[in-house]
Amino acid sequence: MTTALAINGVTRRYRLGADNYVHALRGVSLEVEDGEMVAIMGPSGSGKSTLMHIAGGLDVPDSGEAWIEGTRIDTLSDRKLTRLRSKRVGFVFQGFNLLHTLTAKENVALAAEYAGLSKRDAAQRAQELLGMLGLRERIGHRPAELSGGEQQRVAVARALVNDPCMLMADEPTGNLDSVTSAEIMDLLARVNVEQGMTIVLVTHDHGVANRCRRLVEMQDGLIANDGGEQGL
């Protein structure tokens, strides 16, 4: 199989004061194969979100290497890294991160425009994706007019609009009730199976983690357990 993501010996610490640091990652190595759906779990402060941010090029390690589909990303210039993220990695966050002055369609289309699509093509792509995700009647609504689940569907559409090789989700169901959470996980599982999309998902919810094929558990900035493929 092709390696979609490789993290090799990554460390990351954050400075809190003159001589006060928190060590978020202490030498983490992880490989994710193309088409896998992986959950990363751990208590608060275990390093799981830091790991995802470095894996997706949102942060850089103090040492070690991060690779996406054979491209080393931790040494890229800001310009090249921004371009890689916009085309090859889709992000979904707990807080949706939608622009409240834009409609659902405009939120999705804007990501495609940033990646180089024309305004017309971006709008068409956004409309198609939102329709596929069950939001055909809501494309003209702004985030305040949408439910939490609908907002997260818009966020998923935005993440997918540029046909990335990988989707990274940081607590994507954290602001949702259990029923809506299950609907979003159904959607992500469908994207994983039908499109062969590699998905790396950070969560504290065992029910969400159990929907993924593989579970990686973190503790104190290290991988405590990589249980391999789960039986679903």
Domain coordinates in residue numbering, the chain: 3-229
CA dihedral 205, 207, 212, 218 (to 10 degrees): 30
Grouping H, G, I as helix, E, B as strand and the rest as coil, residue 186 is helix
* pLDDT at residue 142, as a whole number: 97
Is CATH 3.40.50.300 the right assignment for the domain spanning 3-229?
A: yes
Please provide the average confidence, as pLDDT, over all residues in the chain: 93
Contact predicate 9/28, CB 8 Å: yes
CA–CA distances in Å: residue 67 to residues 19, 173, 187, 198 = 31, 27, 27, 14
- Record the pTM: 0.91
pLDDT band of 18, cuts 50, 70, 90: confident
227 pLDDT more than 80 = no
Q: How many residues does the chain have?
A: 232
pLDDT band of 229, cuts 50, 70, 90: low
Token digits for 132? Answer: 């596929």
CA dihedral 200, 203, 84, 60 (to 10 degrees): -120
φ/ψ of residue 69, rounded to 5: 45, 50
The percentage of residues in the chain with a pLDDT greater than 70, rounded to a whole number, is 97
Q: In this structure, are strands 37-41 and 198-202 parallel, antiparallel, or unpaired?
A: parallel
The average pLDDT across 186-205 equals: 94
Tens of pLDDT, residue by residue over 108-165, are: 999 999 888 999 999 999 999 999 999 999 999 999 999 999 999 999 999 999 999 9
